[in-house]
Structure 1
Amino acid sequence: MDSIDEAIIQCVVRNARATYAEIGRAAGLSPSAAKRRLDRLVATGAIRGFTALVDPQALAWHTEAFVEVYCAGNPTPADLREALDGIPEVIEACTVSGGADAMLYLLARDIPHLEQAIQRVRSTAPIQRTESAIVLSRLLSRPRL
Structure 2
Amino acid sequence: MPQNDLDTLDERIVHALAEDARRTYADIGAEVGLSAPAVKRRVDRLRERGAITGFTVRVDPAALGWQTEGFIEMYCRSRTAPEDIRRALARYPEVASASTVTGDADALVQVFAADMRHFETVLERIAGEPFVDRTKSVLVLSPLLRRYTAGPPL
Q: Secondary structure at the match of 1:46?
A: coil
User: What TM-score, normalized to structure 2?
Assistant: 0.91
Are the equivalent residues in 1 in contact too, given 2:15–2:149 (CA < 8 A)?
no
**Please, which of 22, 30, 35 is the counterpart of residue 35 of structure 2?**
30
Q: Secondary structure at the match of 1:50?
A: coil
2:143 paired with 1:135: no
1:5 Cα deviation from its structure 2 partner: 0.2
**2:23 corresponds to:** 18
**1:43 corresponds to:** 48
Are the equivalent residues in 1 in contact too, given 2:19–2:149 (CA < 8 A)?
no
Distance 1:76 1:28 in 2: 47
Distance 2:44 2:28 in 1: 12
Distance 1:79 1:144, change over 3 A: farther
Deviation sequence 1:116-144 (CA, Å, 0-9, x none): 11111112231121100001111111114
119-128 or 100-109, larger mean C-alpha shift: 119-128
Are the equivalent residues in 2 in contact too, given 1:13–1:143 (CA < 8 A)?
yes
Total equivalences in the alignment: 145
Identical positions, percent: 47
User: What TM-score, normalized to structure 1?
Assistant: 0.96
Q: Quick one: which amino acid aligns to residue 42 of structure 1?
A: R
Deviation sequence 1:32-59 (CA, Å, 0-9, x none): 1100000100110001111111001211
Deviation sequence 1:31-86 (CA, Å, 0-9, x none): 01100000100110001111111001211111000110000122121111111110
What RMSD over aligned residues (CA atoms) do the two structures have, in Å?
1.0
Structure 1 runs of 4+ with >6 Å offset:
none
**2:114 corresponds to:** 109
Distance 2:75 2:81 in 1: 13
Q: Secondary structure at the match of 1:130?
A: strand
